[in-house]
Amino acid sequence: MGRLDKYARQSKQKESSKVLPIRLPESIYTQFRQRCEELGLSMSEAGYLLIKEEINDGVYTTHTKEVATTTEPLNTPIHKEHSSTTKKAYLPSTRWNSTPYEMDNELPCPLCHQWYSKANFSRHAKHHQLTTREILESHEDIVEQMIQSRRNK
């Protein structure tokens, strides 16, 4: 009997939920989908049940150092924080984002000395054959001047 057999079509608890997108190799995805169909479970239900059982089994305890090391946030922000330019509190993460450079949902292009919509900035950066990150970080002094100039208006 597999781990999911004992859970076949149990009712879910009513509580607010979050989505956990995961990537799987196609072969594992197909096998998991087939197994869920056999048990009459959605893939989401089965994933929830596996995670719930994993947590309830006490796998994530102080004895497991690997989980703690890979899930703890960084202690210091990756970039300088422009407190007046951000719309919400800046939380450090391992993924780069342009939030510290944003003002009024726009980002400065230090090469053109123009402001562009945050949503379209990546496309604009391609015209310079650079990424958003490369433009903003390699010309940080000009970016800072543009932010200060806009702040003073």
Residue 98 · residue 123 · CB < 8 Å: no
Residue 122, token pair as written in the block? 């990546």
30-79 residue pLDDT tens: 999 998 888 888 888 888 888 888 888 765 554 554 554 555 555 555 55
Lowest mean pLDDT among 22-26, 78-82, 88-92, 106-110: 78-82
What burial letters (b/e) apply to 43-58, b meaning 16+ CB within 10 Å? eebbbbbeeeeeeeee
Q: Structure pTM?
A: 0.40
Task: Give 18's contacts (C-beta < 8 A, 6+ positions apart).
Answer: none
Lookup result for tokens 């995961």: 22
Q: Domain map of the chain by residue range?
A: 22-71, 75-153
Q: What is the pLDDT of residue 31?
A: 93
Q: At what angle do helices 43-56 and 26-39 cross, to 10 degrees?
A: 90
